[in-house]
Amino acid sequence: MSNDGDDLRGIQDVAQSLGVTTRTLRFYEDRGLIEPRRVGTMRIYSRREVGRMQLILRGKRLGFSLRDIKEFLDLYDADPQHVEQMRVLAARCRQRIDELTEQREALDKTLVELSQMEREALDRVRMARRSA
């Protein structure tokens, strides 16, 4: 569904191209993150809305909250230079990097501990077999 370069698309087409369900698109619409046009009961997505959805999905994949994503999108609309958006994005990225680094360190410690426990358990099994 194209219209003079505006690249208008229906919900099924957009959902399929983004690899999401139509329910997902409606969810983000209900949260005010996208605003497809309406023609009767039909939702029509412009290039802008598809782009916003791509940013939303990327933000979710990177672990940002809906609140963070909404703030990024609102700042994008409010600041034509995108300076404030980039400042906030950089700060949120740093927070996320710090969170993930902490999680990685915790995972590394857990893996070391589990490996040690596994070795000890296998050693006991071997010792039990030898003495049997």
C-alpha span between 30 and 23 (Å, rounded): 10
Average pLDDT, integer, range 55-84: 86
Task: With 0.85 as the threshold, say if the pTM is over it.
Answer: no
Contacts (Cβ under 8 Å, ≥6 apart) of 49: 14, 34, 35, 36
Least confident residue range of 6-20, 35-49, 78-92, 113-127: 78-92
Q: State residue 97's pLDDT score.
A: 95
Residues 117-132: pLDDT tens digits? 999 999 999 999 988 7
